[in-house]
Structure 1
Amino acid sequence: MPTNWKLVPPAGEPFIIRGLQRDAITPDLTTGVYYEYDLKRTLILLNHKGRQVLFTISKQIDKSNVGKKGFILGNDSDWNYYYSGVPGSAKTGLGWVKSYIYDFFSVGVYVESGSSPAMVRSGVFQWIRAGWSGINFVQTDHIIKGMKRFARNSKAILESPNLPPANQIASTYQRLFVLPKSDLIKRYTALQQARQSLAVLSGKIGTNEIKKQDPYTSTPKEQIVEELMLEYFKITLGKSSLLGKKVVLAY
């Protein structure tokens, strides 16, 4: 993206990117459920009265994979999560549910403020239908909590003085992506073991729930790199990482 992105001049045509995106979300604040689903994405960059404006449009293609039980480990701002791989919910009384996100639509608007130093004002609009047995159980406050969570984390990243330049982030991703799959699996296994140990220490799972060692050979390379990149962001932004710096940065 950084190599393709160009600022639009005052009389320039909007710059539009369309594509498909696979999303895997972190455990929900209300239910602890996490999902995977496919989106159609459109990004539109335009110039409005001398200011850069970005529109992001997302539309879910089909219903999600079945929701699975997950846990937030410690404070949500630490970005540590446990993914059980087991369908259900961590919320008491809902461990049995087989839930889905049936539909999701989102529009984000990001407007350059024109002030000095440069700032961005944003607004996000979301619609979601999720539940089980075809019934929507989403409430307005669930959506608002999720949007506030997104805004809080986005602000923490974008306003951090430690945020690396875009080209440095891209080069780190590429350095990880070109590693042999066996090397990536070794790093990914260490990450999963660290998450599992933290889940036991925090009382989210018992020792009898520790998963049998998975070889992770069927885990998509893109997923492995994305999860390692989260640890990279933790390190660069000054948070505690579950892995050592050398493991994450592929030294």
Structure 2
Amino acid sequence: MRWWIGIILICWGRIAWGAPQELDLSVQARQAVEQLLVLPAAETSPAPEAVAEMVRLVRSLPDDSAFALPKRGEISGAVSVFTVNAPFSRVVPYAYHPDVPSYATMPSSIRFQEWTTEAAKEGMRQLVSDLGTPRVVHGIEREVISPNLDTGGYYEYMQHRAVAVSSVSGDPVLISVACQEQPSSVGKRGLVVGEDRDWNYLFSNTVGLGGLLGWVKSYMYEGCSIAVFVPEGDRTRVASFKWLRAGWAGINMVKPEHILAGMRRFAVDFRAVLESPRLPLLAEAIALAKKVRALSSDRLQSLAQGALSAMQAQVRDQTFAALLESGKYRHSLSRDELVRLAFLEIWKCRLGRASHTADCSDAVLAACP
């Protein structure tokens, strides 16, 4: 039996031969964390002293550092800190404007992420348009993540989120707190096509994970995260704190190194997008997203087919390969997924990355009224 458990652990996530060092949080930092984690449910504004303490903590951590966090009950945690070579006034609106798809800045982490009410979306539009005014927005988000690099599994869940802009020593800071309070949908099989940096992913409705874990009914049981954005001159320091319990049969399989692997994945692409010299102005990105969403179904199918044809040559999984070759995969896609595929191909082209779309000017959207 022990050999079988060993195989499960290997397949669940890559083994980190050296577990990350645990960050020794001060009493004040622990109190600030707990004060912030109640924001989504309490629907209140963050306490100024909690915000100031979190900013102090983030500024005290070395750049590009990663640590395990003390457990909250039985839930593992980790923190990662990195710097984006772009100003706060550029990074925050791009990351949080509700009319910019989340997969534009987090393509390897997020399939879909959207506020569930128009009131929350309008609140976020106001928040990012005036970062000098303290404001907080509460709401519920639907989130679907990209396939895990090791297992191929992906999950959908609802989470309560609070996003607040505050002022610390005269500088604006943004803190976003999200908590998933109910288990996710059962894990389903997805596929990372080629290199992760290519942002090509396939999704199925088949329950289970890849490889030897095809039988597993896995879930993300609960989790909370805190993101902190702090201006540093023309750059922006970003810190991600996350606690997660996930696995199967009620067993938590998550270790801090698994959380940090996801954080590194997020940071690599987030920086690549926000630091790109070819990144369009925010208004242009919003306009592009609107144009793609307005495309006819036939035009979306055509753009998606170009992306899927390019992926097909790289797919070695027989099930996905057969679905692509027969055309069943494309015809099974929702409109939202067609929009995601079309937008990402045009987006990659505009950022100067590998894309099947040779023309990413407005001409490719000519069918849009």
Q: Same fold (TM over 0.5)?
A: yes
The counterpart of 1:170, out of the listed 273, 286, 289, is 286
1:46-104 Cα deviation digits (max 9, x unpaired):
222221211111122532222122232222112122324322222x4212112111112
Q: Are residue 53 (structure 1) and residue 168 (structure 2) matched?
A: no
Q: Are residue 7 (structure 1) and residue 130 (structure 2) matched?
A: yes
Note the C-alpha offset of 1:143.
0.4
CA distance in 2, matches of 1:15, 1:153: 28
The counterpart of 1:213, out of the listed 323, 327, 334, is 327
Amino acid at match of 1:184: L
Tell me which protein shows more helix as a share of its residues: 2
1:194-237 Cα deviation digits (max 9, x unpaired):
433431xxxx3137851153386775433332332222321122
The counterpart of 1:184, out of the listed 274, 287, 300, is 300
Q: Are residue 65 (structure 1) and residue 185 (structure 2) matched?
A: yes
Tell me whether 51-60 or 189-198 shows the greater mean CA deviation: 189-198
Matches within 5 A, 1:13-32: 14-32=134-152
Aligned residue for 1:191, secondary structure, equals: helix
Match of 2:338 in 1: 224
Assess if the C-alpha contact under 8 Å between 2:350 and 2:360 holds in 1: no
Match of 2:224 in 1: 105
Aligned residue for 1:149, secondary structure, equals: helix
Assess if the C-alpha contact under 8 Å between 2:188 and 2:204 holds in 1: yes
Larger Rg: 2
CA distance in 2, matches of 1:247, 1:134: 49
Amino acid at match of 2:172: Q
Note the C-alpha offset of 1:135.
1.6
Note the C-alpha offset of 1:136.
1.3
Are residues 205 and 58 of structure 1, via their aligned partners in 2, closer, same or farther at CA, if it must alter by over 3 Å?
same
Structure 2 unmatched ranges of 5 or more: 1-96, 100-124
CA distance in 2, matches of 1:26, 1:208: 16
Structure 1 unmatched ranges of 5 or more: none
Match of 1:137 in 2: 253
Amino acid at match of 2:349: I
Tell me whether 151-160 or 41-50 shows the greater mean CA deviation: 41-50
Amino acid at match of 2:129: K
Q: Are residue 236 (structure 1) and residue 356 (structure 2) matched?
A: no
Note the C-alpha offset of 1:185.
3.5
| TM-score, L = length of structure 2 | 0.59
Are residues 190 and 64 of structure 1, via their aligned partners in 2, closer, same or farther at CA, if it must alter by over 3 Å?
farther
Q: Are residue 83 (structure 1) and residue 207 (structure 2) matched?
A: no
| TM-score, L = length of structure 1 | 0.83
CA distance in 1, matches of 2:320, 2:154: 22
1:111-161 Cα deviation digits (max 9, x unpaired):
011x2xx11011110111111122211121110100111111111111111
Tell me whether 63-72 or 155-164 shows the greater mean CA deviation: 63-72
Aligned residue for 2:212, secondary structure, equals: coil
Are residues 96 and 193 of structure 1, via their aligned partners in 2, closer, same or farther at CA, if it must alter by over 3 Å?
farther
Q: Are residue 95 (structure 1) and residue 214 (structure 2) matched?
A: yes
Assess if the C-alpha contact under 8 Å between 1:54 and 1:110 holds in 2: yes
1:15-38 Cα deviation digits (max 9, x unpaired):
222233222211112322112222
CA distance in 1, matches of 2:284, 2:131: 23
Assess if the C-alpha contact under 8 Å between 1:196 and 1:210 holds in 2: no
The aligned length equals 240
Are residues 8 and 169 of structure 1, via their aligned partners in 2, closer, same or farther at CA, if it must alter by over 3 Å?
closer
Are residues 97 and 231 of structure 1, via their aligned partners in 2, closer, same or farther at CA, if it must alter by over 3 Å?
same
Aligned residue for 2:146, secondary structure, equals: coil
CA distance in 2, matches of 1:132, 1:42: 29
Amino acid at match of 2:130: L
